[in-house]
Amino acid sequence: MSTTPTFQDVFGSRPEVYARAPGRVNLLGEHTDYNDGFVLPCAIPQSTRVAMRRNGGGATRVHAAAYGRTVEFAPGTDAAEDEGNPFALYVSGTLIEAAQEGLQVPALDIFVVSDVPIGVGLSSSAALEVAVLRALRELLEAQEQLDDVRIAQVAQRAEVEHAGVRCGIMDQMASSLADTRSALFLDTRTLRRQLVALPEGSSVLVMDSGVARSLATSGYNQRRAECEAAAAALGVPALRDVEYLSAVEQLADETLRKRARHVVSENQRVLSAAAGCDAAGFGTLMNASHASLRDDYEVSVPEVDRLVDLLQRQPAVWGARMTGAGWGGAVVALCHQDAAEDVARAVLREYAAGGGKGRALVPELAQDANSGG
Ligand code: GLA
C-alpha cells in the first residue's frame, strides 16, 4: 500500500485541473542564451505534475509531495523561504508573474509531484514553473493570453525576479516547447525555433556526477556579468553579435577573452549541429563544447571532467560534455542507439572505482546497477 498522500488527502476534495511539464537536457549551446545566442536542448522523460483548484479562501496553499509539507501565502505575495518546501517560492513567483499578465489569479490549492532530479542542471525549477502555468491556463481558460512561448517568458521572469537567478530563457522554452524525440534549435534573441531530429542511429544518455552545485548561483551571475563586460568592450549589444573568433582576441583582459571565446565558439557549434550533421560530427562538437566550458568558461569541476572523459573513451559514445550551468551536476553523452544502458553501467563501474558516486538519469537503471557495483 502506498503511503504517498494524494491531492484529496491533503486538501479534502478533488482538483479541477491537472498539468505536467518535463525537465530538459541541453545537448549544445551552454551559457549562450543570456548572450542572445543559440541553444539546442531536448526534453527528458522525467516531469513535474501539478494538480490545482480554486479554494475560495484567502490563502494559496502549495503541497510538495517530495517534502510532505504544505506552505501558505496570500495571493499576490511571495511565499516565505522555507527549506521544508522550497517549491513554494517558485510557485508564488510564477503566480505573481502570471497576474502581471493580467490574469485574475484567485487563492488556489496546488499539489506538486515531480521526478525531475533536483539540483543537477536538468531544470527542475523550469518544469515546475511551466507545469503551474499550464494548469493555471486551463483553470482560467487563458489560452489566448498564455501561449506556449508566453508561458516560457512568464516562467523565466519568475526565476529572475523571485528566485534570484539571472537566467536566460533556454530552460523554460525547452520545458514548454521541446520533446524527448528531437532537439529544439532556438535563437534566444528572436525566439525563432525549429525542432531538429537527433542524429540518426543515436540516443541520449544523461548521468549525474554526484557533485552538488554549491557555487552555481553566484558563479552564474558572475559569468553573466563578465559576458556583459566583454560585449561592452567589443562595442556590441551582446556576444551573439560577434561572428568571428579573431575579434575576441582583441580583448585585452584575459578573463573576458576566455569567456567571449567560449560563447562565440559555442554559438558556432550550435549552428553547425543545427545545419545537420551525423552522429560522429555531433559528438565531436559536444567534445569541443566540454573542452571550451572547462578551459575557457571555467565552469566544470574535476569529477565532472573525469566522468566526461570516461564517457568519451567508450567506443559506443559519439561525444560527451557537462550540461547545464556547471559547477557539478549532470553530464550528457550521445551514444550509439540502444547502447546507452550498457555504456552507463560500464562507466558507473569505472567512476565508482575511482571514488565517484554517480548515477544514470536517462535512461534510468535498476537500483543495483546505479550504485556502480
Ligand atoms: C542555467 C540557466 C539557463 C542557461 C544555462 C547555461 O540552466 O537557467 O538559462 O543559461 O544555465 O547554459
Cα gap 351→353, rounded to integer Å: 5
Take atom 8 of ligand 1 and give the residue whose Cα is closest.
167
Residue 367 has a pLDDT of: 66
For the chain, how many residues are written?
A: 373
Phi, psi torsion values for 59, nearest 5 degrees: -130, 145
151-171 pLDDT tens trace: 999 999 999 999 888 899 999
Of residues 147 and 367, more confidently modeled:
147
Q: Is the pLDDT of residue 14 over 90?
A: yes
DSSP secondary-structure letter at 198?
P
| C-beta of 173 in contact with ligand 1 (< 6 A) | no
Of 171, 187, 208, 296, which one is the catalytic site residue?
171
| C-beta of 324 in contact with ligand 1 (< 6 A) | yes
pTM (two decimals): 0.96
Going by pLDDT thresholds of 50, 70 and 90, the confidence category of residue 34 is: very high
| C-beta of 171 in contact with ligand 1 (< 6 A) | yes
Among 68-82, 235-249, 280-294, the minimum mean pLDDT is found in 68-82
The letter for the amino acid at 55 is N
Q: Has 82 been annotated as catalytic?
A: no
CATH class, domain 7-197, is alpha beta
| C-beta of 25 in contact with ligand 1 (< 6 A) | no
Domain range summary for the chain, segments of one domain joined by +: 7-197, 202-370
| Homologous superfamily (CATH) for 202-370 | GHMP kinase, C-terminal domain (3.30.70.890)
CA 214 to ligand 1 centroid distance, Å: 15
Helix, strand and coil in the chain, % to nearest 5: 40, 20, 35
Quick one: residue 24, left, alpha or beta (phi over 0 = left, psi -120 to 50 = alpha)? beta
Going by pLDDT thresholds of 50, 70 and 90, the confidence category of residue 372 is: low
Decide whether 7-197 matches 202-370 in CATH topology.
no
191-215 pLDDT tens trace: 999 999 999 999 999 999 999 887 6
271-301 pLDDT tens trace: 999 999 999 999 999 999 999 999 999 999 9
Ligand 1 atom nearest to CA at 165: 8
Residue 85 has a pLDDT of: 82
Instruction: From 216, 276, 289, select the one nearest 27 (Cα to Cα).
Output: 289
Residue 83 has a pLDDT of: 82
Residue with cell 557549434: 269
